[in-house]
Every structure is written in C-alpha cells, then in structure tokens.
C-alpha cells in the first residue's frame, strides 16, 4: 500500500511517500481502506517531536480517518465488510497513523459513519469536535444559559467549540479576525469581537456584566491577567493550546473567585470518553449541526505539502487529505 510515513522525527521534509506492507488486523482490530483524512496541529507536533510520544519507525502519520471496512479480526465481528467507519485517535501512543491506503484500527476506537454523510465533510470535524466535547462536557461542565468566551473562534477547534456550546444552550462570545466574523456567526456565535482590538477584553466585560462562566482560548495566548477579572464566581478556564507559552497567573483572582483551570489534550482521553464524544459527533453531523470550512484538499502523495500548508497558517479552513 502507498503510505506517508517518517523514519525519524523532524520537519515536513522528513515525510516519505512509498509502499509499505498492508497491515494485518489483530484479534480485535479492523482493517479500513482510507477515503479521507485531515491534518491537525498535533500531527505536526508528533512528527517534529515537540509532543513526545511513541513513534515506531517507519511511522505512518495522521490522526483522523474515514474509510470502509475491508477485514476484521475475530473479536471485531460487530463491524461488517463494506461499512463506512471513522476514527480520530490514530498516529499517537505507538498507533500507526491514517495517512495510508489501509489502516488497522482497534475496534474500541472505531465508530460507524452516519448514513448519507460525505467522508470529506465528516473528516475535518472529527478531531476538533471531540476536543470541543471533552473540553465543554468533561472539563468545563458547561451549563445551559452560561456565557462562554471563545478566543480564536475562527479555527477548526474554535469553531467546533462555538457550534457545540450553542447546541448546549450557552451564550457564545467569540473573538476572531474580522474576516472570520461571518463564519463564526454561522457557527452560532451571539457576539463576534475583533481579537486585534486593543480593548477586546473591555468589550467582553461589557457584554458579560455578570461574568463569564467558561473561557476557552484557542490562540495559545492564555492571558490570565486579562481574562481572570472577567470570570464569574466558579468560572472555568480551559487550556489546550500554547505549547510553549509561559503566562503570568494571578493566583489571587483564582482562589477568591473559585475559578479553576482545566488543561487537557484529546490524546490522553480514554476510549470511553472518546466513545461518548463520538456519539455526540455522529448526532450532530447527521443533522448538519457540526461543520467545518475546508481550506484545501491534498492527495496522499502530497502529505509533505499538506503539513507545510498547516505550518504556514496561510490557508483559512481545514486541510483534507484523500488517497
């Protein structure tokens, strides 16, 4: 099979396109033929080594997969040949990735794609949608009627957070580039502020005089000095971006307001949490309530270019990879 893989950690130039043996499913595994994948920021971190994880070489890159079942192990007979399925937790922790014509997936990490959903429409929301679910449901415990501020709402995870928070009955204040305002509003944001504005935090304060219940920063700025004064009593801050950030933390405002900070990555989520997220994702994509902007589509043989495009940040929207 053709695959995009690395033999050592490093930049996009380390990605090789060549033929590898088709992997064989173990007793509880499923062999899936690739129809679509996507590029996530974490894929760049794993490939470069900035996010250390076990990468047995040759290591196939890629996290997300939508495809068709072609074979199963004896303990994975609940999946039938020809079924469309998806996974959003490959390419990490020693698991080979999705950027290959065929991939082996543990049955516990595999979910059926709802009927009628296009693989290229589904694949760009799988990782971001599950991240949004884990952060809003498991970490922040977002409640109906609460106000959430989503910084960097125009990106993949940010727009998924906006969409999911809206379905959960929250009021959403989004900060984004002005060119992303229309997209953020289409995702359900009640208010969209220009995050380049010097008084953006003052604007948030005016829009939420009773305080913000949940603060989610996708920009990696993590400006606790600015956001902590805007939190309501018992507010929650979700941290999942800013790998190299070393922000100032005014602890006095944390404990006097009972504010908690929740850091997490989807890569550490147990399969039970991923399954809960998958159930919600399937409900939303089947109803067209969880969508992504597709900024570019590359073929598998262009995996290096796809990683370069993600690194450059010039593409607005998600990057999809097809065979």
pLDDT recorded at residue 297 = 98
CA separation for the pair 85, 73 (Å, rounded) = 15
The sign of the torsion formed by the CA atoms of 225, 229, 230, 233 equals positive
pLDDT recorded at residue 43 = 97
Q: 215: which strand partners?
A: 149, 237
What are the residues whose beta carbons fall under 8 Å from the beta carbon of 70, sequence distance 6 or more?
A: 31, 32, 33, 81, 102
CA separation for the pair 289, 296 (Å, rounded) = 21
Q: Kindly report, as residue ranges, where domains of CATH 3.40.50.720 are found in the chain.
A: 128-266
Q: Which long-range contacts (CB under 8 A, 24 or more apart) does 273-276 make?
A: 273/134, 273/138, 274/88, 274/89, 274/109, 274/130, 275/108, 275/111, 276/133, 276/137
Give the DSSP letter of residue 206.
H
Q: 297: which strand partners?
A: 320
Average pLDDT, whole number, for the chain?
97
Q: Kindly report, as residue ranges, where domains of CATH 3.90.180.10 are found in the chain.
A: 2-113+293-322
pLDDT, block means (10 residues), the chain with 323 residues = 98 98 98 98 96 97 98 97 98 98 98 98 98 98 98 97 98 97 98 96 98 95 96 97 92 96 97 98 98 98 98 94 98
CATH architecture of the domain 2-113+293-322 equals Alpha-Beta Complex (3.90)
CA separation for the pair 130, 138 (Å, rounded) = 11
Closest CA to 3 of 46, 38, 34, 31: 34
pLDDT recorded at residue 243 = 87
Enumerate the H helices of 13-72 as residue ranges.
41-48
CA separation for the pair 130, 147 (Å, rounded) = 21
Structure tokens at 12: 């996009």
Give the containing element (helix H, strand E) for 85: strand 84-87
Model pLDDT for residues 71-116, shown as the tens digit of each residue? 999 999 999 999 999 999 999 999 999 999 999 999 999 999 999 9
Q: 71: which strand partners?
A: 31
CA separation for the pair 39, 6 (Å, rounded) = 15
Does the pTM surpass 0.95? The reply is: yes
Q: At what angle do helices 156-167 and 271-286 cross, to 10 degrees?
A: 80
Pairing of strands 65-72, 29-39: antiparallel
Task: Evaluate whether the domain defined by 128-266 bears CATH number 3.30.365.10.
Answer: no
**Placement of tokens 């900035």 in the chain:** 50
Closest CA to 216 of 257, 256, 170: 170
């Amino acid at each position: 099979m053709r695959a995009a893989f690395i033999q050592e950690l490093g930049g996009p130039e380390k990605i090789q396109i060549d033929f590898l043996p088709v992997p064989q499913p173990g007793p509880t595994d499923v062999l899936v033929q690739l129809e679509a994948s996507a590029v996530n920021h974490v894929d760049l971190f794993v490939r470069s080594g900035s996010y250390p994880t076990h990468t047995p070489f040759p290591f196939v890159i890629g996290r997300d997969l939508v495809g068709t079942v072609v074979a199963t192990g004896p303990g994975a007979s609940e999946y039938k040949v020809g079924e469309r399925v998806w996974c959003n937790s490959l390419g990490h922790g020693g698991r080979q990735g999705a950027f290959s014509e065929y991939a082996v997936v543990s049955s516990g990490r595999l979910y059926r794609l709802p009927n009628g959903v296009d693989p290229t429409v589904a694949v760009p929301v799988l990782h971001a949608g599950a991240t949004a679910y884990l952060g809003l449901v498991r970490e922040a415990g977002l409640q109906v009627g609460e106000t959430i501020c989503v910084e960097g709402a125009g990106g993949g995870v940010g727009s998924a957070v906006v969409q999911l928070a809206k379905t959960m009955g929250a009021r959403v204040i989004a900060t984004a580039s002005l060119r992303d305002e229309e997209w953020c509003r289409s995702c359900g944001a009640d208010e969209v502020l220009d995050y380049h504005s010097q008084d953006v935090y003052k604007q948030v304060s005016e829009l939420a005089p009773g305080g913000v219940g949940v603060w989610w920063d996708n920009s990696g700025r993590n400006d606790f000095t600015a956001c902590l004064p805007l939190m309501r009593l018992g507010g929650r801050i979700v941290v999942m971006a800013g790998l190299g950030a070393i922000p100032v933390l005014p602890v006095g405002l944390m404990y006097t307001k009972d504010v908690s900070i929740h850091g997490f990555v989807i890569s550490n989520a147990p399969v039970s949490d991923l399954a809960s997220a998958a159930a919600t994702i399937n409900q939303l994509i089947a109803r067209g309530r969880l969508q992504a902007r597709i900024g570019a589509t590359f073929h598998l043989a262009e995996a290096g270019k796809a990683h370069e495009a993600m690194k450059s940040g010039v593409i607005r929207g998600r990057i999809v990879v097809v065979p």
